[in-house]
Structure 1
């Protein structure tokens, strides 16, 4: 009894340790917290975005398809079994694959057990599978890279779009603070009899407009953040806050605009080239479809005969053979020739896709380069306007308090400052987005490996 209890306690302890070990060994769920940088957002998206995961699964499916195709080169072994009861007449020689001895008497029960094997020596299907594996693997790897490039571009642009709205909100809040102070000054001057009610009414109108803009911007941030989380593969309930580093972004705006376009750097072009290689393999497949298929075959069987079922398996009559099987396609109703012509047309169509894609890439590069240069020039000019508008506002605001300037001058100065600040951030993030487009057009958009 004590021994039984000891064994039971030992079993419970072992089971508990096993469950705890498995629990601790489980991979923790991927999460993203704190202010998120652009690199962190991209890395998270490359690990969790459904499109990237699907592309990775497609690679695995293709690998299984390759193994399925190559399995034809391996020996094929099959077992077989047969049982027949002859209620009238008797089985004849060769009916079971074995010669029935003449001295077996009346036979009512027949059974065979055996194994057959075959080994392909040459077959057009498995030959195609062995040649196509390299290109199919290359195609699906390039397809995964294409998905990653899409994610990097989309996440970057959505990230900058959210940051732009957040900076717009900060500018609007600062503008509201200035307008509230101006409204207070205008009302005090009116109460003191220095100015008429027009000043504080104009201040009220401007403040109400800014309050409405703040609400619109807040809702826009929610919408754009939801889009960013969707592209990143983040749950809708997970809060995401973004990190803004103005110095870093200003340092990363430059790119060498003298780089030469090479269409082979574009993943779309490489995918088409790989597709063409696979199509050429199909042409060769149908071109050599007239070649015979040759296989080595072998069989070994035991035959059993008896009048009574009870002693059916008492004695066996083994047979076996080895040989070659040759299958020669003589006439298929021109099916092979029609498939060959179709495969050649597919190659011609892919050639035209390559030409069209090359032209499209050149157009995209020209447009991306023009947009980048335009945005870069705008950014350089607008960046100076922020400091100038800020200095003008400070001077005009001070002069208004001293009675030198009218309130209309203050409103104009405030509007110029707000416009300059908004234009600056618009120019900065437009420039960063156009840089991404240019990098993608050149085929040099960096894609980090998912960790």
Structure 2
């Protein structure tokens, strides 16, 4: 009977775990995913975003812990002792013994901070620390968007390369068959179909290399997204739409306040200024109130120790006034002021770095757009040249070697075009990051 119950419990646990696992799998997007869907998932499940969110929770708990000192602090303590030798004193001609062999006490104490510079500092800085934590999450999300998008583009680039290579394979296989047929008919020598075979083998090798990179690229994208290894998906992207959105010259102005790094540094500078005020508050007194209730127990017999209590209670205030600390406060104030000065320089340096990053990103973007447009024109021209030479070869006007050259030029132009296009997409991401406009 016991074994049957144990078996039923085990089956129930297994069923519940499988149900929970299937529900978790159902919440994960599968099938064909767009870039927006990939980014949306990464903004929730990406390891760097989740770590930043946990850091925010940890920071929020620390802030609440520091602010909790404003509330009453209630403690209880107890103690007991066995007096081996009791105090004695001669009064007149008599020897008087004071106390009992056993004594104990139970103390209940409540303390309330009324004025304390540490608590004032915690209250004034809590808002800015929370802002910092939120900006850290925002920065993690920006990096997740950039990294995931570039990994997405890398897969897309390989897919487009495969399409181009497949088109070339189709043409080369036909050319190989035609060249071999002409050789057998005695119209040409064997070098034509040998060249065709070499070109076909090279393209097959290139396609195999690109195809073998897919699994690693998908695994890398999954890693960045925080996507389960046990599930798979494919990607989809509107290339024509993206190409239509590419501007020749990006002219959005740089606004330093849009950069999350600049916002973080400004918040840190505010905290530096509050720290300076905090060090100056070191001259202020500290004031607190307390209430104590103490149960005292005395007896010469341990068994009767807690039969009678002798309680005492008190209420009062504590005032602590710092008078002299050997110049320590002066040095701490000066150090805090120097930290503010350092922060000014740090903000200025970051501003220059952001401007340089923006200038470089803008130059790279405009350069890649210009190069992509030139290569696109070159690709169109390569297609025209190939079609003309192919027609002339079929008519027996051109030699096969010229067709091979035209085929190679066309393939290189197509690969260069797709590489240039995705370089534009990556540079556009870098430019948006430099501008602080990534949503």
TM-score by length of 1: 0.87
Distance in 1 separating the partners of 2:46 and 2:52: 10
Distance 1:25 1:117, change over 3 A: farther
Write the deviation string for residues 131-157 of structure 1: whole angstroms up to 9, x where unpaired. 110000000100000010001011111
Query: Which shifted more, 363-372 or 409-418?
Result: 409-418
Residue segments in structure 1 that go unaligned for 5+ positions in a row: 1-11, 93-102, 447-451
Distance 1:21 1:199, change over 3 A: closer
Cross-structure match for 1:327: 320
Write the deviation string for residues 186-241 of structure 1: whole angstroms up to 9, x where unpaired. 11111111112221121122112112211221233333333222222234454332
Distance 1:169 1:31, change over 3 A: same
Query: Which shifted more, 129-138 or 317-326?
Result: 317-326
Write the deviation string for residues 299-338 of structure 1: whole angstroms up to 9, x where unpaired. 1112122222232222222211111101122222333333
Shift of 1:80: 1.8
Q: Is the 8 A contact 2:88 2:97 kept in 1?
A: no
Distance in 2 separating the partners of 1:283 and 1:352: 17
Q: Is the 8 A contact 2:248 2:370 kept in 1?
A: no
Distance in 1 separating the partners of 2:61 and 2:88: 45
Q: Is the 8 A contact 2:73 2:110 kept in 1?
A: yes
Cross-structure match for 2:293: 300
Distance in 1 separating the partners of 2:368 and 2:107: 79
Shift of 1:416: 2.4
1:146 matched to 2:104: no
Cross-structure match for 1:412: 405
Task: Show the 5 A alignment for 1:242-321.
Answer: 242-254=235-247, 257-321=250-314
Cross-structure match for 2:30: 33
Distance in 1 separating the partners of 2:97 and 2:190: 128
Distance 1:264 1:295, change over 3 A: same
Distance in 2 separating the partners of 1:91 and 1:393: 119
Does the residue aligned with 2:359 lie in a helix, a strand or coil? helix
Cross-structure match for 1:394: 387
Query: Which shifted more, 244-253 or 165-174?
Result: 244-253
Distance in 2 separating the partners of 1:319 and 1:222: 77
Does the residue aligned with 1:254 lie in a helix, a strand or coil? coil
Q: Is the 8 A contact 2:87 2:98 kept in 1?
A: no
1:158 matched to 2:151: yes
Q: Is the 8 A contact 1:85 1:110 kept in 2?
A: yes
Distance in 1 separating the partners of 2:17 and 2:390: 69
Write the deviation string for residues 38-85 of structure 1: whole angstroms up to 9, x where unpaired. 111111111111111110011101110111100110001111212122
1:383 matched to 2:379: no
Q: 1:216 aligns with which of 209, 214, 219?
A: 209
Q: Is the 8 A contact 1:104 1:306 kept in 2?
A: no
Cross-structure match for 2:3: none
1:87 matched to 2:84: yes
Does the residue aligned with 1:28 lie in a helix, a strand or coil? helix
Does the residue aligned with 2:166 lie in a helix, a strand or coil? helix
Distance in 2 separating the partners of 1:389 and 1:26: 52
Does the residue aligned with 2:290 lie in a helix, a strand or coil? strand
Does the residue aligned with 2:273 lie in a helix, a strand or coil? helix
Write the deviation string for residues 108-133 of structure 1: whole angstroms up to 9, x where unpaired. 22121221111000111111110110
Q: 2:119 aligns with which of 126, 133, 137?
A: 126
Q: Is the 8 A contact 2:249 2:366 kept in 1?
A: no
Residue segments in structure 2 that go unaligned for 5+ positions in a row: 1-7, 90-95
Query: Which shifted more, 27-36 or 39-48?
Result: 27-36
Task: Show the 5 A alignment for 1:4-83.
Answer: 28-29=24-25, 30-83=27-80
Shift of 1:27: 6.5
Paired residues, number: 423
Cross-structure match for 1:432: 425
Distance 1:377 1:105, change over 3 A: closer
Task: Show the 5 A alignment for 1:182-261.
Answer: 182-254=175-247, 257-261=250-254
Distance in 2 separating the partners of 1:106 and 1:440: 78
